[in-house]
Amino acid sequence: MEKIVLVEAPKPKPKAKRSLPDYIKGARHVMNRFDIAGYEKAVAYARHALSISPKYVPAHALLGEAYSYWAFRLELNRSESHFGYNHLSYIHAKQAIDMAPELACSHRAMAVSMRRGNQSDPEGRKAEIVTAMDLEPNNPDNLYEHWRAFGYKIDDRSVHRALELNPKLTGALIDYGVVLTEAGRHEEAERFMIQAKVVSPKNTLVFYNLAMIQDRRGFRVEALKTLLLIQEEFEDDYLIQSGLNFLQ
C-alpha cells in the first residue's frame, strides 16, 4: 500500500501592519470621493492613527479638512450637526498649526476650516492657503483649495493644474462643473460631472448637479432618470428629494 504522507498546510502570512502615513494616505483617498461615506471612513482612519500616535500632525490636519467637508454636506441635507462638525474641523486644524506650522497640510487644514461656521474668515483663509502653496506649490489639494479660497474663477489655472496632478479629485470636478454651468457652458459642465460620477459613483451631490445641468440643457426627462437611479438607495437624502420635487 502506498504510504500516505501528510503535509502540513502552510500558515497564512500575517498581514503587514500599516504605517501612520499609510493610514493618512488611505484617509485622503476616501475623503477625496467627497461623499458622506468617504468622510466617515476618512475620519475613522485618521482617528485610528491618532490612537496610535496622539501628536501625529497629518492626522489632525486631515481631520481639519474632513470635518469641514462633512459639515458642508450635512448643511446641504438640513442637518444641524454641521455646527459641531465645523467646530471639530477648527479644533484639529489649530492643533496641526500649533504643533507643526512648517507643514503645508497644517495651513491647508486651517484654510479649509475657515470656510464656514463661527470661525469663517475669508481673508485669513486666503493667507493660510497662500502659505500652504509656498510650502508645496505642486500639491493638488493645495491648488484646489487655493482656487476655492480665491473665488472659483473660471480662468484660474489652479483648478486645472490640480486636476492635471490628480484627475480623480472629485471635489474639483464637481465644483468646476458647477462653475461652467453657471457660465452657460452646460455641455462642458456635464462632461466634468460625468467624470465625477465615474470616480465617486455613490455621490448624491454629483447626481443632483448632473441632473440640474441636464435640465438646463433642456433634457428634463434625462434629468429625472438621473435622480431616480439613486433615489431608492438614498431615499432620505435632501438633495435628491429636492431635485425630484423641482423637476416633477
In tens, the pLDDT along 116-153 reads 888 899 999 999 999 999 999 999 999 999 999 999 99
Assess whether 203 and 147 both reside in one domain.
no
Q: Domain count for the chain, please give it.
A: 2
| Domain of 91, in residue numbers | 19-157
Q: Residues 74, 182: one domain?
A: no
Residues 98 and 211 in one domain: no
Higher-pLDDT residue of 194 and 8 is 194
Residue of 2, 6, 77, 5 whose CA lies nearest to 35: 77
Dist CA 72 CA 87 (whole Å): 12
Of 100, 127, 157, the residue that ends a domain is 157
Predicted local distance difference test score (pLDDT) of residue 84:
85
114 in a structural domain? yes
Whether 129 is covered by a domain: the verdict is yes
Per residue in 194-239, pLDDT (tens digit) is: 999 999 999 999 999 999 999 999 999 999 999 999 998 998 889 9
Spell out the residues 6+ positions from residue 64 whose beta carbon is closer than 8 angstroms to its own: 89, 90, 92, 93, 96, 109, 110, 112, 113
162 located within any domain: no
Name the 3-class secondary structure at 205.
helix
Of 123, 157, 191, the last residue of a domain is 157
Residue 84: which residues within 8 A CB-CB, separation 6 or more? Answer: none
pLDDT value of position 16: 47
144 shares its domain with 121: yes
Q: pTM (2 decimals)?
A: 0.89
**Confidence class of residue 15 from pLDDT cuts 50, 70 and 90?**
very low
Same domain, 38 and 65: yes
**Whole-number pLDDT of residue 235:** 85
Answer whether residue 101 shows pLDDT above 80: yes
CA–CA dist 211, 193 (Å, integer): 10
In a shared domain, residues 25 and 137 = yes
Distance CA 143, CA 180 (A): 18
Whether residues 82 and 173 fall in one domain: no
% the chain with pLDDT above 70: 93
CATH number at residue 23: 1.25.40.10
pLDDT tens digits for 40-89? 999 999 999 999 999 999 999 999 999 999 999 888 877 777 778 999 99
Considering the domain architecture, whether residues 172 and 234 belong to the same structural domain is answered as: yes
Domain boundary among the residues 157, 175, 203 is at: 157
State the DSSP string of 24-38. Answer: HHHHHHHHTT-SHHH
